[in-house]
A and B are shown apart, each in its own frame.
Chain A
Amino acid sequence: MGDILQLVLKRLGLGLVTLLVVSILIFFAVELLPGDIAQAVLGQGATPETVAALRDKLGLDQPAIFRYFQWLGGALTGDFGVSLVSGVSVGDAIGERFVNTLFLATYAAVIAVPISIILGVIVALLRNTLFDRVANVATLTSISSPEFFLGYILILYLAVKTQYFPAIASISPDMTFGELLHRTFLPALTLVLVVTAHMMRMTRAAIINLLASPYIEMARLKGVPPWKIIVKHALPNAWAPIINVVALNLAYLITGVVLVEVVFVYPGIGQLLVDAVAKRDFPIVQACCLIFAATFILLNLAADVGAILTNPRLRHPK
């Protein structure tokens, strides 16, 4: 276990370096964006003098490097600054939205992960049968449909035609949990469709990969029935790649859902980020990107730790 702790610490350290690099990258990308925040805030209707006045007020007249280190200094002490556009602190601007994003991601994950693993096991068991092929085509089709398109189709059938679910997922804090689940069902379902296919295919592949192992043959020669071979003998050894792909997809559920947020009008962090980019609101862009990057890094780390924990060789050292 000490080894795991050491690994986690080492990876966290590397993660911090990655975050630093990401922050530099984002800062200069935002710097390079044509147009500037003053122009973007004031919109089409601003005169050059107004723009200059606003630039002055926001401190944009200082050199970029200086502003970056100013920001970094603040960030290191836990102060991520205030939105240049609205003047709200970054924490306040992001806080609730990040919770919303997490909620939606969790909702989708809670449905998608078990379904995809169970389906993956089933298609591995029924490999090369009609069911397997149908599942294969169905998952490929769902992978290859643009997600906004999936969203629209779901809206058509589940909201417009049947009215089972609301077409827009606007939520408010005073809703009951059940109401919340009902209102956000369609975006969650869209995400489920998007990620399930990938995870299911990976589960199937990981399991089938193991079927040539001697211990699987041994189990067959012990008279173990096929479903038990898959579930008891193959699956426990297939966790590492499965966890990996699950982590990748969870990261996607948090970082890649801008389009779903737009389609279902869900107040998540993705929409905030796109808006902030449009406004060149650097502190918000930076904070969102760092949250995304940290999510990605942590989930990757979790996947590696998970792979270790499910590997008996590493879990039970000699």
Chain B
Amino acid sequence: MTKSKDQDMINRLESAARTGGITKREFIRYSVLAGLTASTATGLWSTKAKAQPKTGGTFRWGLHDGNTSDSHDPGTYLTRQMIFMAHTHRSFLTMIMGDGSLGPDLADSWEASADASEWTFKLTENASFHSGKKLTADDVIASLNHHRGDASTSAAKALLAGVTDIKKDGDYTVVVSLSGGNADFPWLMTDYHLCICPAKDDGTIDWESGDGTGPYKIDSGEFGVQFNLSRHDGWHREGAYFDKVEVIVLNDPNARQTALMTGDVDAVSLIELKTMGLLQRNPNIKIHNIPSAGAITMPMHCNAAPFDNVDVRNALKLAMNRDEIIEKIAFGAATKGNDFHHSPAQPYWPDGIPQREYDPDQAKSLLKKAGAEGLTINLSTADSVYAGAVDMAVLYAEQAKAAGININVVREPNDGYYSDVWLKKPFCLVSWGARPTPDVMYTLAYKDDAAWNESFWQNEQFNKLLLQAKAELDDAKRADMYREMAILAKDDGGTIIPFFNNFVYANSTKVGTPDQLAASWENDGARAASRWWFES
């Protein structure tokens, strides 16, 4: 870890301490990790920190995405209900903090070998499962192995594809060997699939029981409907102020919002942007608008006409009025995209790359150059991609008319969109969840041989830089490489990125929240249950 990064960490810790985001004990522990002595850390701990949040109450939490066929198997986690549950009744090795930094969860600390190909995690000795069993390295190894191996059917299999071996070094140390260097590996451990379940004697995990080391334990529940949880007294971190938590699936936007307005729930994970302004008038409701690393992308298949011509691709990029789209579709709750998939909410964000603006005339001339004047193409989308995805496509089609491009908006069924449209139709709308680092994102969807290279974009230089950056532990060098990659993606890539959407969620004013909310998921990185509290 470099000096500048440590300082950065300390500054963040300070600010978290001032706003009451973390407790004194945690503050000192992180500061020590950052290379300070305990006494210095104690001095830095400001007395301005907020008083301890009040404990008690039942937190009713309305989520926007749940399915009756969900299960506790971490390998099949897909819906928000399960992702949020995983952050509530289970734990991970690391966690993303309110300020966007990487903090400890089950792992107290971690360090890499010089080439970043071997990572050692030191586990906390205080963690226990709801059943009472103490957490050991065996549980961690079994849980990670659940996603590895030929027989594994986990959706996170690809994520751990680079892992060659996982060993324990005593009961509280886990060593992970990688096939190549990966500086981001501890960040990967925050992936929602990689929660830790109790190991069975045969080295597999017991996920069926729903047991975990999270702040709350499951009392009862039904998938796609509701889960009732109560506080796990043996939790190994600070927080978990509520006595009980009810996780309620409210798929219908209207149901969700009215439930919040009528006080049937205390917080919801998503509100409809269309009615955000109207909801804001309600004095009992607080709306959070958090920039995220999630993005709306519009991949064009670079291996298919007419998108195999870079001028056509750029014409389509220029034919979009992003400001109007953000105003009308995202109701302002978004960050303007610049056609490279690297969000300001992620580390190493390259500042100062010129923003691409709406320029139908230039688009026209590019099309002329490509010999594709009066271009007519289909744009596939579905309601489920993003609230307003269809409207956005229609709006874009209207804007593109000025550049002489005819876009037919095709509304595809919600059901099966990602298996039948995405990667199959040459031009479509896609919604990407937040990924912790640019490397994860690029490797997943822009690397030449990635299964999800959604635009089938092949760029030698880009791929070379990607591999170099991955193993580079020097932050400055890494940042430079990411800047170069961003420019390549912007000017040659096959993906239009209209905007990075914000997480827009709301809660009752009865609920207290930290000043800084994690941007990895809605509701404070899906950890509202353990980080929030009831006021008074």
Contact = CB atoms under 8 A, between A and B. Distances in A.
Direct contact of A and B (CB under 8 A): yes
Interface of A: 33-36, 38-50, 53-54, 57, 83, 85-88, 93, 96-97, 152, 155-156, 159-160, 163, 166-168, 170, 172, 262-265, 267, 271-272, 275-279, 281, 284
Interface of A is mostly: helix
Contacts of A57: 151, 153
Interface residues of B, number: 42
A265 B71 contact: no
Contacts of A271: 68, 224
Most B C-beta atoms less than 10 A away, residue of A34, A50, A53: A50
Interface of B: 67-71, 76, 78, 150-158, 222-226, 248-252, 254-255, 258-259, 261-262, 264-265, 414-416, 418-420, 422, 451
A278 B152 CA distance: 23
A160 B261 contact: yes
A170 B419 contact: no
A267 B223 CA distance: 10
B150 A53 contact: yes
Nearest to A284: B69
A168 B261 CA distance: 11
Most B C-beta atoms less than 10 A away, residue of A34, A53, A265, A278: A265
17 contacts: A35-B416, A39-B419, A42-B76, A42-B155, A43-B78, A45-B156, A45-B158, A48-B451, A50-B154, A85-B70, A86-B223, A155-B258, A167-B259, A262-B252, A263-B254, A271-B224, A275-B69
A160 B258 contact: yes
Contact of B155 (A45, A87, A88, A279): A45
B146 to A, nearest CB: 12
A50 B71 contact: no
B71 A85 contact: yes
Most B C-beta atoms less than 10 A away, residue of A44, A96, A155: A44
Contact of A34 (B150, B156, B416): B416
Given A39-B419, A45-B156, A152-B254, A170 B451 contact: no
Contacts of B248: 168, 170, 265
A267 B222 contact: yes
Nearest to B151: A53
Nearest to A259: B252
A57 B151 CA distance: 9
* Across the A-B interface, the 5 shortest Cβ-Cβ residue pairs: A35-B419, A85-B69, A54-B153, A86-B71, A43-B78
A4 to B, nearest CB: 40
B532 to A, nearest CB: 21
B262 A167 contact: yes
Interface of B is mostly: loop
Contact of A170 (B152, B155, B225): B225
A138 to B, nearest CB: 24
A86 B150 contact: no
A160 B262 contact: yes
Contact of A41 (B76, B415, B451): B76
Given A45-B156, A50-B153, A167-B264, 16 more contacts: A41-B69, A49-B157, A53-B153, A57-B153, A85-B71, A152-B254, A160-B258, A167-B258, A168-B255, A265-B248, A265-B250, A271-B224, A275-B224, A276-B68, A278-B414, A279-B69
Contact of B76 (A53, A85, A156, A160): A85
B78 A50 contact: no
A87 B71 contact: yes
A254 to B, nearest CB: 17
Contact of A44 (B223, B224, B265, B422): B422
A251 B76 CA distance: 35
A152 B78 CA distance: 29
Nearest to B251: A262
B262 A44 contact: no
B81 to A, nearest CB: 11
B357 to A, nearest CB: 31
Given A50-B154, A265-B248, A34 B419 contact: yes
B259 A168 contact: yes
Nearest to B154: A50
A159 B254 CA distance: 12
Contacts of A278: 67, 414-416
A160 B252 CA distance: 16
A170 B226 contact: yes
B422 to A, nearest CB: 7
B175 to A, nearest CB: 25
Contacts of B255: 155, 167-168, 262-265
Contacts of A43: 78, 155, 418
A293 B352 CA distance: 63
A42 B147 CA distance: 12
A279 B224 CA distance: 13
Given A263-B254, A272-B68, A166 B262 contact: yes
Contacts of A275: 67-69, 224
Contacts of A38: 153
A45 B193 CA distance: 11
B155 A46 contact: yes
